[in-house]
Amino acid sequence: MEKFYITTPIYYVNDKPHIGTAYTTIIADIFARWHRLLGEDVFFLTGTDEHGGKIEKSARDKNKTPLELVNENSQKYKAVWEKLNISYDKFIRTTDPLHEAAVQKFIKKVWDGGDIYKGEYEGFYCLPDERYVTENELVDGKCPDCGREVQKIKEEAYFFRLSRYKDAIIKIIENGLIIPKKNANEILSRLKGELKDLDITRKSVSWGIKFPFDESHSVYVWFDALLNYLSALDWPDGKLFNEFWPADIHLVGKDIAWFHSVIWPAMLLSAGLEPPKRVMAHGWWTVDGKKMSKSIGNVVDPVEMAEKYGADAFRYFLIREKPTWDDGDFSESALKSRINGELMSDLSNLIARVLTIAEKFSGKIEGNKELEGFIDKNKLAEFFDNCDLYSALNLVFDGIRRINKYVNDKEPWKLKDGELSNVLYNALEAIRITAIFLKPFMPSTAEKIEEKLNVKYQTIPDADFKEFTSRVHRGENLFNRLV
């Protein structure tokens, strides 16, 4: 059976989930569900990143121990993923002893390969981003990524020979590691400059995994975090590791593409392991035209959105509103108009109209398959293969609009007997197939459509025009107009 391993970043637990983290996780869920529908054996991993100076500081500020903070906050992530219908197979926490042991084993391997040495780090550090910043990179003395204050650091540290892997990494990226191309090009042009070795331990941070060769140091939080993708598979000896490595897709926001496509493959090569097949970097959400921030008070709470509008409508909006790679703006009014315009008018009304007539029709439902190919299955698969969920979802909704047009043109309310049977057959089969293609994006809506059609759980091989023999039940509207 074909295997498919997809991961989200593991999120920092100093904060609760917001639309950005929800977006990444929803995209990963859509891929996982699509590959399950194809009959593949899927392993979908998410989790929380629980070590490092940022968590340590956040716990101190809240008068908690780091462990109290991470225990509380990782639960919040799990609760939100449940609300958003996220079908992960494993939730990893970096404070899990099995993960900590895997990190130490990995470091020993890299050490034995001669890729770790002791030196002194002198430079700057951005605590919110947990990343090192060189003097050249500073913009007005601040972090080039987030514009926040950096700390000056001078301390003894152990280094990973990242520079040794530069040529190999360039080759891997040129061979298509990163999707989309624009992010690959950005990273390749950064790699034209000097690639410095990476500081992988901190003496001044105590909330971290102990560095096995010198316990006065803790492991740099990114070196620790990236290894979750292996430890979750019980590396080195686990069955899951043998089955699922290398990962098919590491899904990330573009902010952390560098860590996943440069540092991570270098770490893997150093340990004699295969790099991931693909790193997909998606674009950024702003809210009402501004960067989300607690001080502006515009952080969108995904739970609030799911409770107010339903998880499926929220999922739909995030995928529909902007191309996956681009940046886009979130606003509740845009969400409402998509619900009224597309989910209500195009989808919900269509189903209500067709099922009202079909419920009353007592004859045999059969016809000529004239709507066959209303959604091009191969094209849809191609969009998924290219990680273009935006186009995939649009293709499905173009299909829904085709069914609407068909019904409007045929005017089944004026038809009888054979002619009516034919139109109902085509519309019902097309709706049944639509439900299959909606499953990755809007799982509960798809399930409701199947219930209305009275068909059993369906997968991709069912997405062809067949016989339609079941008795349908119109029931309640899928979506109602919002004011």
Q: Look up residue 79 and give its two tokens.
A: 């609760």
Give the closest residue to 380 by CA, choosing from 326, 437, 319: 437
Q: Considering beta carbons, is residue 265 or 399 the nearer one to ligand ME8?
A: 265
Q: Which CB atom, from 277 or from 364, has the smaller least distance to ligand ME8?
A: 277
Peptide bond into 144 cis (omega under 30): no
The enclosing H or E element of 155 equals strand 151-160
Residues 350 and 404: beta-carbon distance below 8 Å: yes
Q: Which is nearer to ligand ME8, 44 or 425 (CB)?
A: 44
157 binds ligand ME8 (CB under 6 A): no
Contact 458, 402 (CB under 8 A): no
User: CA-to-CA distance for 81 and 88, rounded, in angstroms?
Assistant: 9
Q: Among candidates 274, 268, 277, which has minimal Cα distance to 115? A: 268
Question: Between 427 and 446, how does the x/- string for binding to ligand ME8 read (CB under 6 A)?
Answer: --------------------
φ/ψ of 189, rounded to 5, equals -75, -30
Distance from CA of residue 103 to its chain's centroid? Answer: 24
**104 touching ligand ME8, by CB under 6 A:** no
Residue closer to ligand ME8, measured from CB, 51 or 432: 51
Distance of CA 18 to the CA centre of its chain: 13
- 284 vs 361 by CB, closer to ligand ME8: 284
Pattern 182-221, ligand ME8, x by CB under 6 A: ----------------------------------------
Q: Which of 256, 311, 357, 424 binds ligand ME8 (CB under 6 A)?
A: 256
Of 113, 123, 238, 253, the residue at the interface with ligand ME8 (CB under 6 A) is 253
Kindly state whether residue 80 participates in binding ligand ME8, applying the rule CB under 6 A: no
Phi and psi, residue 198, nearest 5°: -110, 130
Stretch binding ligand ME8 (CB under 6 A), from 5-13, 234-242, 452-460, 461-469:
5-13
User: Which residue of the chain is nearest ligand ME8 when measured via CB?
Assistant: 20
Size of residue set near ligand ME8 by CB under 6 A: 19
Two structure tokens written together for 395: 């293709």
Could you tell me the smallest distance in angstroms from the CB atom of residue 145 to ligand ME8?
A: 11
Q: Which part of the chain contacts ligand ME8 (CB under 6 A), choosing from 20-28, 150-158, 451-459, 462-470?
A: 20-28
Q: Where are the beta strands (DSSP E) in 310-399?
A: 328-330
Task: Yes or no: say if 144 and 133 are a contact pair by the CB < 8 Å rule.
Answer: yes
Closer residue to ligand ME8, CB minimum distance, 208 or 412: 208
Beta bridge partner(s), residue 123: 153
Among 23, 77, 88, 211, binds ligand ME8 (CB under 6 A): 23
- Stretches 6-14, 103-111, 360-368, 413-421: which one binds ligand ME8 (CB under 6 A)? 6-14
Asked whether 153 and 124 are in contact (CB, 8 A), the reply is yes
Question: How far, in Å, CA of 106 to CA of 170, rounded?
Answer: 23
The window from 3-11, 82-90, 240-248, 316-324 that contacts ligand ME8 (CB under 6 A) reads: 3-11
Q: Is 91 in the site for ligand ME8 (CB under 6 A)?
A: no
Q: Which of residues 26-65 bind ligand ME8 (CB under 6 A)?
A: 49
For 193, which DSSP code? S
Positions 270 through 309 that interact with ligand ME8 (CB under 6 A)? 284-285, 292
Return the sign of the alpha-carbon dihedral for residues 340, 343, 345, 349. Answer: negative
Structure tokens at 92: 């990893």
- Quote the least distance from Cβ 156 to ligand ME8, whole Å: 25
Q: Tell me the residue type at 450.
A: E
Q: DSSP string spanning 21-62?
A: HHHHHHHHHHHHHHHHHTT-EEEEEEEEE--SHHHHHHHHHT
Interaction mask 228-247, ligand ME8, x per CB under 6 A: x-------------------
Counting contacts by CB under 6 A, is residue 323 touching ligand ME8? no
Task: Report d(CA 165, CA 419) in Å as an integer.
Answer: 68
Min dist CB 40 to ligand ME8, Å, is 24
DSSP 94: T
Tell me the window of 7-15, 62-70, 140-148, 151-159 that interacts with ligand ME8 (CB under 6 A). 7-15
Give the count of beta carbons closer than 10 Å to the beta carbon of residue 216.
10
Give min distance, CB of 304 to ligand ME8, in A.
17
Does position 370 interact with ligand ME8 (CB under 6 A)? The reply is no
Q: Does 314 bind ligand ME8 (CB under 6 A)?
A: no
3-state secondary structure at position 101: helix
Q: Give me the residues paired with residue 142 across strands.
A: 139, 149
Spatial separation of the C-alpha atoms in residues 237 and 95, rounded to whole Å:
20
Regarding 84 and contact with ligand ME8 (CB under 6 A), the answer is no
Which of 6, 10, 184, 389 is close enough to bind ligand ME8 by CB under 6 A? Answer: 10
Query: Which residue of 255, 288, 329, 359 would you call a contact of ligand ME8, by CB under 6 A?
Result: 255
For residues 442 and 348, what is the distance between their CA atoms, to the nearest angstrom?
13
Residues contributing to the site for ligand ME8 (CB under 6 A): 9-12, 20-21, 23-24, 49, 225-226, 228, 252-253, 255-256, 284-285, 292
